[in-house]
């Protein structure tokens, strides 16, 4: 087997391994676009929050989105889904955002990207408005739902009534809302920490073929075979 043939074989082996070792082996559900959310996720109230994005494979890539599903009356859960490159790319700036919501009272749904927790802000069944010393009204959850700010990665953030009013305007016009000061989303001051320590390879990272290849197989050094050594 000559040198070119051997390296071609090694490349094919690597491509097969990189594909077989990717999370696609887990049979993750496939999300083509936002139109499939309604059929895939059941129950209400329900909020689907994008918490990470990654891709697997060297030359043949598979795209993934990691979601946190926050239910109103049961424990939240995290899932990993496959997606199209087009939809993956379209949501690169929306990590930390709620991409799908279903309301409890009328089963109304929304796929407009919004800050996490949008589903519950302003609903008296889950909380209420309180005046602060500054004169501004801020949203606080009832004791039974005091864990929600943690679920939504809010840290010390509390929505003001101004925030709520602006949010409603964007919802009505079906436009993504990243906060009064762009606090939410991949680069937002509140949710940007979600992907800081992601263990997965991202699109802007360099892939060095030989470094990946060495993880799977040792390539012996090439030596010129002389007539003396053959004898």
Q: Is 80 helix (H, G, I), strand (E, B) or coil?
A: strand
Residue 110 lies in a domain: yes
Residue 225 lies in a domain: no
Q: What is the largest CA-CA distance in the chain?
A: 95
Residue 133 lies in a domain: yes
Instruction: Compute the distance between CA of residue 98 and CA of residue 45 in angstroms, rounded to an integer.
Output: 13
Q: How many domains does the chain have?
A: 1
Per-residue pLDDT at 204:
47
Per-residue pLDDT at 162:
96
Per-residue pLDDT at 16:
53
Per-residue pLDDT at 9:
64
Per-residue pLDDT at 46:
95
For residues 92 and 71, the answer to whether their CB atoms sit within 8 Å is no
Residue 227 lies in a domain: no
Residue 231 lies in a domain: no
Q: Which residues of the chain, if any, have pLDDT below 50? A: 20-21, 23-25, 199-220, 222-231
Per-residue pLDDT at 101:
97
Residue 224 lies in a domain: no
Per-residue pLDDT at 7:
63
Look at the pTM and tell me if it is higher than 0.85. Answer: no
DSSP per residue over 129-153, as a string? EEE-TTS-EEEEE-GGGTTHHHHTT
Instruction: Compute the distance between CA of residue 92 and CA of residue 194 in angstroms, rounded to an integer.
Output: 13
Per-residue pLDDT at 5:
67
Containing domain of residue 183, as a range? Answer: 3-218
For residues 108 and 101, the answer to whether their CB atoms sit within 8 Å is no
Residue 228 lies in a domain: no
Per-residue pLDDT at 55:
85
Per-residue pLDDT at 76:
92
Per-residue pLDDT at 6:
63
Residue 223 lies in a domain: no
Instruction: Compute the distance between CA of residue 198 and CA of residue 53 in angstroms, rounded to an integer.
Output: 9
């Amino acid at each position: 087997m000559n040198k070119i043939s051997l390296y071609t074989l090694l490349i094919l082996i690597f491509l097969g391994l990189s594909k077989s070792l990717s999370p696609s082996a887990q049979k993750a559900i496939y999300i083509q676009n936002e139109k499939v959310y309604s059929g895939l996720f059941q129950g209400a109230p329900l909020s689907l929050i994008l918490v990470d994005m990654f891709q697997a494979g060297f030359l043949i890539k598979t795209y993934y989105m990691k979601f946190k599903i926050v239910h109103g009356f049961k424990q939240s859960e995290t899932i990993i889904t496959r997606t199209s490159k087009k939809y993956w790319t379209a949501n690169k700036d929306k990590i930390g955002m709620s991409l799908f919501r279903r309301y409890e009272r009328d089963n109304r749904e929304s796929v407009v990207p919004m800050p996490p927790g949008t589903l519950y802000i302003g609903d008296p069944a889950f909380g209420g408005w309180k005046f602060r010393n500054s004169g501004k009204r801020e949203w606080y959850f009832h004791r039974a739902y005091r864990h929600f700010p943690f679920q939504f990665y809010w840290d010390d953030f509390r929505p003001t009534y101004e925030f709520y009013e602006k949010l409603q305007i964007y919802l009505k016009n079906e436009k993504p809302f990243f906060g009064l000061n762009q606090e939410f989303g991949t680069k937002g001051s509140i949710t940007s920490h979600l992907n800081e320590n992601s263990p997965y390879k991202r699109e802007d990272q360099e892939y060095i073929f030989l470094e990946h290849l060495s993880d799977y197989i040792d390539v012996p050094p090439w030596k010129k075979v002389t007539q003396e050594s053959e004898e």
